[in-house]
Amino acid sequence: MQSAPGPETVIDGVRYLYFAGTSYLGLAAHPDVIEAGCEAMRHYGVHSATSRARFGTNPPVLAVEQEAAKYFGTDDAFYFSTGYVANHILVSALSVGVDAVLVDEAAHYCVIEAARLAGPAVTTFHHLDPEDLARKARGHRSLLVLADAIGPSTGVLAPVEDYLKVLKETHDARLLLDDAHGFGVLGPDGRGLFDELGLWSRVNHPVAGAGTSLYVGGTLAKALGGFGGIIPGTRGWVNQTRRASHYFDGASAPASSAAGATARALALVGQQPELRASLRRNALRLRAGLTSLGLTVPAGASAHIGVVAGDAGNMRRVHERLKERGIMVPYVDTYSGLPAEGVLRFAVFANHSSAQIDHLLSELRTIL
């Protein structure tokens, strides 16, 4: 990639109409975001060159946590260098005292790896299968359950409400979702799948020890236009996550430029709800168009859609024909959560025009 990701993106020297990646709100190339990152680096250097436990929290890092707390409507937030470790941090806080850890067998790599931190009592359940979750949960008094909120390549939403019905039978159940692709996309306030389902007020409180409690972590590097991982929540919960692992006191603070850009991107998303409204319109337009072509599209309004169009050979053909016509839609053959034949992964941004989406659909119609 030889440009910032956007509706048009340069790859290997060729400018494509780009329906890939994860810059869903179109902020990766926003001039204010870029300038904020440059300004932070000029003032504070590459990074603070020490952990956050002493004096490694510089103003851009603190600004990200303040903007994130404002955006997510929480008391506080914990910001760190990559969303990949959000589940590692959360498992360190949530696995204490549980009988077993259950994880969706096709969850993202970072979710599977994080589950293993809990020790040997880790069991997988069938992908998106509440009935198998019920079978694996039976007989346990205290459980930690991990899954993706949205499939990273498929766009399929986790059946959260079905999971909650199943977990009512457990005395102490803790449901943890990785919502990397939902933050900034789903829900009336853009806070992800729990927000979409009207459950946000229950999310990321200290463990109660009875009933079902809800937890989420994610990234600021996709829809929200910045870089790094985030865990929002009550002040008590955020303090607990900072103490649960050694990421806060053992890792370097996030880079100044990334933090400066991220704080500005979060502020823009909060100030401009029309970005999320535009993204939702575009996502629904693309979904309707793909459906009209006879393709099976997962339910919901995620900004990315994994579509099976015949076998692997045919999807490679579709990818290549679109590429020849100046349109980039990746064929993904191997990734977490994919069917054996892979998918064509479509992604749409808030700043794609209706004409660009319609052009994609028109070209796709002639190729299929």
Residue 210 confidence class, pLDDT cut points 50, 70, 90: confident
Is residue 266 located within the same domain as residue 279? no
Q: Name the pTM for this structure.
A: 0.96
The whole-angstrom separation of Cα 283 and Cα 368 is 21
The whole-angstrom separation of Cα 82 and Cα 220 is 9
- CATH of residue 301's domain is 3.90.1150.10
Domain boundary among 256, 271, 286: 271
The residue count of the chain comes to 368
Give the mean pLDDT of 89-93: 96
Q: Which of 134, 131, 185 is nearest to 157 (CA)?
A: 185
The whole-angstrom separation of Cα 192 and Cα 331 is 26
pLDDT for 23 equals: 98
Residue 54 confidence class, pLDDT cut points 50, 70, 90: confident
The whole-angstrom separation of Cα 326 and Cα 281 is 24
Is the pLDDT at 121 greater than 90? The verdict is: no
Compute the radius of gyration of the chain from its Cα atoms: 20
Is residue 182 located within the same domain as residue 294? no
Is the pLDDT at 120 greater than 80? The verdict is: no
The pair of three-digit structure tokens given for residue 174, joined into one six-digit string: 């803790």
Domain boundary among 225, 247, 271: 271
Whole-Å CA distances, 335 to 44, 145, 153, 173, 292: 38, 21, 7, 29, 27
Q: What is the helix, strand, coil percentage profile of the chain, to 5?
A: 40, 20, 40
Is residue 73 located within the same domain as residue 212? yes
Domain boundary among 271, 289, 313: 271
3-state secondary structure string across 21-77: CCCCCCCCCCHHHHHHHHHHHHHHCCCCCCECCCCCCCHHHHHHHHHHHHHHCCCEE
Is residue 52 located within the same domain as residue 179? yes
Beta strands at 122-125 and 142-148: parallel, antiparallel or unpaired: unpaired
The C-alpha torsion from 173 through 147 and 76 to 239, rounded to 10°, is 60
Percent of the chain at pLDDT exceeding 90:
94
Is the pLDDT at 81 greater than 90? The verdict is: yes
Q: Is 211 helix (H, G, I), strand (E, B) or coil?
A: strand
Q: How many domains does the chain have?
A: 2
Average pLDDT of the residues of the chain: 96
